[in-house]
Amino acid sequence: MRFIYFTDTHIRGSNPKNRTDDFIRTLEVKFSEIAGLVKEKDIDYVIHGGDLFDRPDISISVVTRFAGILKLIEKPIFIVSGNHDIFGHNPDTLDRTMLGLLRSFDFLQVLEKDSPILVEKNGVTVQLSGVPYSYDIDSDPNSYILKNIADQADYSINVVHGMLLDKPFIKGIPYTLVDDIIETKADITLSGHYHAGYKTIIRDGKYFINPGSLVRVTNSLKEIERMPKVILIELSRSSIEIEELYLESAKPGAEVLDRTVLENGVFRSERIIEFKQSIDAALEFEKLDINDLITEVAFAENVPKRIREEALKRLVAVQMKSL
């Protein structure tokens, strides 16, 4: 039995500010390539990790445009709702969203926590379950842990949309570590939400996979270097095979992401570093007396005049505050 997994497509009707290409057309091409891979690789089921849309009330014209492309896949599509697919980070609002509309028209099936689905082929039965995004998903590791598997299931795949990470993240941002959910009974945990993704992790024979977002909407260096991919999962009675498939239609980040803001930030940082280095190179800060420091800066010969003036102005300001 074969699955293709991808996540965070963020379908929208306008270009993100950091994209220099026609984002909508680029995304259409990516979906078309995936439809081709489904046929080429003889895929049985498609799984999406959430954030199909960039907002829950995206325009009908955009939904119609992409619904036509989704029909090209011609295989059952399973998905969990992401934070961008629902209102107020509340999965109970799904019926009022465009993702809910597609579900009602049987374009796809939305996986829910307490309603696992069994699929079968060639004597292999797989349980599919999902955990949608919610505002408190990362307040408790148990949100990610699958506790029950049907007796007839040979494998279980649990799809979650939350900040499941391979290593600690920025302080103040809620997240859950893979190491905190090792007790899950899922053979494969598929996650989304974290756009950068991470290399497939295997712990105690269990797989934890996040290929990263199918789209790149930020211009960070990490995103510029990252190439979008999908995951091929093949399950037989005796093995689990995982393969990464990079999209041929995805262009290098440098060609589609605007670096202007990033480069301006780097330029400012470099100027600050140069300022500090020029002061450090010309002066010996062995004296802590502020008056001596001011005098030394004023008469430093290896420091450009404009830098000396700026340094003096700042040092004098500090001195005045201490009076």
CA-based nearest residue to 19, from 198, 172, 224: 224
Mean pLDDT over 95-122 rounds to: 93
Lowest mean pLDDT among 185-199, 247-261, 271-285: 271-285
Average pLDDT over residues 184-210: 97
The answer on pLDDT for 280 being more than 60 is: no
d(CA 9, CA 162): 15
Q: Is residue 200 domain-shared with residue 275, that is, in the same domain?
A: no
Q: How far, CA to CA in Å, does 104 sit from each of 52, 81, 184?
A: 16, 14, 31
Please tell me whether residues 185 and 297 are part of one structural domain: no
For the full predicted model, state whether its pTM sits above 0.95.
no
What are the C-alpha distances in Å from 115 to residues 9, 48, 69, 128, 141? 24, 17, 28, 9, 20
pLDDT at 219: 80
Last residue in a domain, options 221, 256, 291? 256
With beta carbons less than 8 A apart as the criterion, state whether 31 and 66 touch. yes
> Residue 260: what pLDDT?
76
Distance set, CA 239 to CA 52, 117, 184, 262, 298 (Å): 30, 21, 19, 44, 73
Of the residues 217, 237, 256, the one at which a domain ends: 256
Name the residue range of residue 232's domain.
Answer: 2-256
Give the residue-averaged pLDDT of 123-142: 96
Instruction: State the DSSP code for 48.
Output: E
300 vs 95, more confident: 95
pLDDT at residue 275 above 70? no
